[in-house]
A and B are shown apart, each in its own frame.
Chain A
Amino acid sequence: MRKIYLIVCLIFQLSCFSQNKELLYNFTSIPQSLMVNPGADVSYKYYFGFPVLSGISANVGSSSFTAYDLFANNGVDFNQKVRNVINQSTNRDKVVTNQQLEVFSGGFRIGGRESKSYISFGLYQEFDFFMFVPKDLAILALDGNRNYIGKSFNLGDLSMKAEVLSVWHVGFHKKVNEKFVYGGRAKIYSSGANATSTKNAGYIYTGQDSGNANLYNQIISSDLELKTSGLSKFTKDEYEGNVVRDIANNTFFSGSLGLGVDAGFTYYIKKNLQLTASVVDLGFIRQSKDIETLTYKGTYQYNGVNPDFAGNDEPEDIFDEFDKAIPRDTLYNKYTTWRPTKFYSSIQYSFGEARPDDECNCRGKINTYYKNAVGAQLFAMSAPREPLVALTAFYKRSIFRKLEAKATYTFDTFSNKNIGLGLAGTLGPVNIYALFGNVLEYKDLSKASSATFQLGINFVFQDHDDE
């Protein structure tokens, strides 16, 4: 039962984030926007993130139910709530969580004062969880098959993956000219723990077909597979350690390794019309540490006990038969997992040209900027079965030269009225940002189908024209 609690806690408490960072994307006064587009038009002499506080982000998304639906303290029986949630979900509904924490990050300009080439680097930790609502299996666990004679319970409903990893990265971006910026980032992944079970198929069927020697026709056809890395030792009875500490240790120091790249660009079609695109986490991890693959493959027709009065004794037991038909196999093969690859693109139109009024222009060099920008962004992420897609409209405004606000309106699987608000301000070298997705639902977070935030503090140093 403890295991069930653990699983349920994992699913429902951590649950809830998609990886779209629609507010951070192209919010170029925040250095971390380079993490969603390495070709973002970000400039600095050098910067570094406040250790551990430079980039904290979390996303939770659930397309069919909210925390309130399950955990509201409203006197309704919990089991009834679970039942309602399962009934209102389909096997296409998903629960997605992503959390990232920057351990350190920094960047510097390379070349001379006139150079526009930059290096950025860092280490961050990430947790990903993705699951489709396993509706048929949930019904089977809640009700059993008694009231579902004739129904085929789909084992393919079970589709989930989870991973804890750390990512070391180095990126380069260059502003080639006033029109074009490009960049790329190389990543080394170190996965502390991975569980993947996304290629399941099969069914459990109980039918009442005529002409059968038995009362029921019962068939289990199973093609189930769960691959894990970095987890099998915790399931052993003799394990006596601290799971969290061990996973953290694996994540940073002895995980399964992988490689990935990000790439992106910014192109100014006109001075006030900008196009960007990026691909993030195009990469894989070779799962090789403490690996274990469990499979249940086979077909079993269950008939019950059949005595033979002719005296032929073939002792057979149901379990033995079942085990023979659908054996539990444990394999220890390395396997490769692909990172959830993200694709972003945006088009932005700027207006309201202004002169910076808080800077001294003794040299007569005037760098004007636009106070307002509107545009659209597209987000897509690879996921089991089909990609997640989101479309965002945004408005960005400079309240002051160094204080920018961005508002977004996003349509996605989880919500069609997701309004996000973000602020980024720079005080001297201190750059602070706070971005909140789905703010309408912050009035009651428990009823939010999705919630996202990103927070961080950086120290950004620019050249000063008058020094």
Chain B
Amino acid sequence: MIVNIRRYIYRYTFVMKSNFLSKVLKIVIISLLFSSCSSDLDFDQIKDLKLEPAFLANLAYFDIPANKLVDDGGNHVADDSRGFDIFKDKFFNEHLQKAELNFEIENTIDRAFLVSLQLLDANNQVLQTLTFPVPAYRGTANVIKFPTEVFENQRLDLLKKTVKIGFRVAISEGTPLNSQSLGSLKLKSSATAYLIIE
């Protein structure tokens, strides 16, 4: 009998405690879940992601020593063309918004030059011609930094069709050059590509 009563009391307290326990658990869990509020977040912002990197790279260079331009002092032209296939890259082509080309020419030859760059398309048609007049060397520093060539909109579209660059160096009349002649004609250039990726 005593055992039964004890059992009864035990069962009763157990039930009471169980209810209490389950309530405590419920409250704790619910309060944790609901108190875990969060500031207003907007994941759609990811669509606003817009990368605007600007890449700076070498474009072209040459260094022609005077003794390789042997002539009799008259007008003549040296030329060469080189493949330039960067715009074949679809990603680069699509995202390029603007390009800037910078040219720097140093002449230490006693002759004047007209340096020109021709942007050529796949059919060898000239898309654009950039010309750079260079005066003859007179014994003083002769480095010319030409104004930045900016390519945007239609001019950029032409640039994007470029697959080849033609280089043309027209030498003006002057002192004849031979294998002993000193000096050189140097070109250095860079391109800045402004991409917008969104």
A residues lining the B interface (CB < 8 Å): 1, 4-5, 8-9, 12-13, 67-68, 70-73, 77-79, 81-82, 140-147, 149, 206, 213-216, 218, 302-311, 313, 315-320, 358-360, 362, 399-400, 402-403, 421, 423, 425, 427-428, 432, 434, 436, 439, 442-447
Contacts and interface: CB of A to CB of B under 8 A. Distances in A.
Given A216-B56, A307-B167, A360-B7, A315 B62 contact: no
18 contacts: A143-B54, A144-B53, A144-B193, A145-B54, A213-B186, A218-B57, A306-B60, A307-B62, A316-B82, A317-B83, A318-B86, A362-B3, A400-B21, A427-B21, A427-B22, A434-B32, A443-B36, A445-B37
B158 interface: no
Q: How large is the interface on B (under 10, 10 to 19, 20 to 34, 35 or more residues)?
A: 35 or more
B81 interface: yes
B172 to A, nearest CB: 16
B63 interface: yes
Interface in B125-155: none
B48 A402 contact: no
Given A307-B167, A403-B21, A144 B54 contact: yes
Contacts, number: 191
Interface of B: 3, 6-7, 10, 13-14, 17-18, 21-22, 24-25, 28-29, 32, 35-43, 45-46, 48-64, 68, 78-86, 88-89, 102, 104, 165, 167, 169, 186, 188-190, 192-193, 195, 197-198
Contacts of B59: 304-305
B190 to A, nearest CB: 5
A186 B79 CA distance: 74
Nearest to B198: A1
B80 A442 contact: no
Contact of B188 (A5, A68, A215, A359): A215
Given A302-B57, A307-B60, 8 more contacts: A71-B41, A77-B48, A206-B57, A307-B80, A309-B169, A310-B68, A315-B82, A425-B22
Given A72-B39, A144-B195, A309-B68, A358 B48 contact: no
Contact of B81 (A216, A307, A421): A307
A240 B43 CA distance: 27
Contact of B58 (A9, A302, A445): A302
Contacts of A320: 85
Given A307-B82, A423-B25, A13 B43 contact: yes
A307 B84 CA distance: 11
Contacts of A304: 57-61, 189-190
Contacts of B7: 360
Contact of B38 (A213, A402, A445): A445
A146 B194 CA distance: 10
Given A1-B198, A309-B68, A140 B61 contact: no
A319 B86 contact: yes
B104 to A, nearest CB: 7
B60 A319 contact: no
Nearest to A357: B13
Chain A interface secondary structure, helix, strand, loop or mixed?
A: mixed
B39 A447 contact: yes
Contacts of A8: 46, 49
Contacts of A216: 56-58, 190
A144 B190 CA distance: 15
A316 B18 contact: no
B188 A214 contact: yes
A68 B37 CA distance: 12
B83 to A, nearest CB: 4
Given A78-B48, A146-B54, A214-B58, A67 B21 contact: no
Given A71-B43, A319-B88, A444-B38, A306 B49 contact: no
A215 B80 contact: no
A305 B39 contact: no
Contacts of B43: 13, 71
A78 to B, nearest CB: 4
A447 B45 CA distance: 17
B56 A149 contact: yes
A318 B49 CA distance: 30
- A-B residue pairs, 3 tightest by C-beta: A144-B53, A304-B58, A307-B80
Contact of B17 (A67, A71, A400): A400
Contacts of A77: 48
Contacts of B102: 215
Nearest to B58: A304
Nearest to B103: A215
Contacts of B36: 442-443, 445
B99 to A, nearest CB: 12
Contacts of B53: 140-144
A446 B38 contact: yes
B82 A306 contact: yes
Contacts of A218: 57-58
Contacts of A145: 54-56
A141 B24 CA distance: 52
Nearest to B165: A305
Contacts of A319: 85-86, 88-89
Contacts of A313: 80
B189 to A, nearest CB: 7
Contact of B51 (A70, A142, A360): A142
Contacts of B45: 70-71, 73, 78, 81
A315 B83 contact: yes
A149 B167 CA distance: 28
Residue with the greatest number of chain B CB neighbours at <10 A, chosen from A5, A307, A310: A307
A443 B35 CA distance: 6
Contacts of B188: 213-215
Contacts of A146: 54-56, 192
Nearest to B41: A71
B41 A73 contact: yes
B51 A141 contact: yes
Nearest to B100: A146
B47 to A, nearest CB: 8
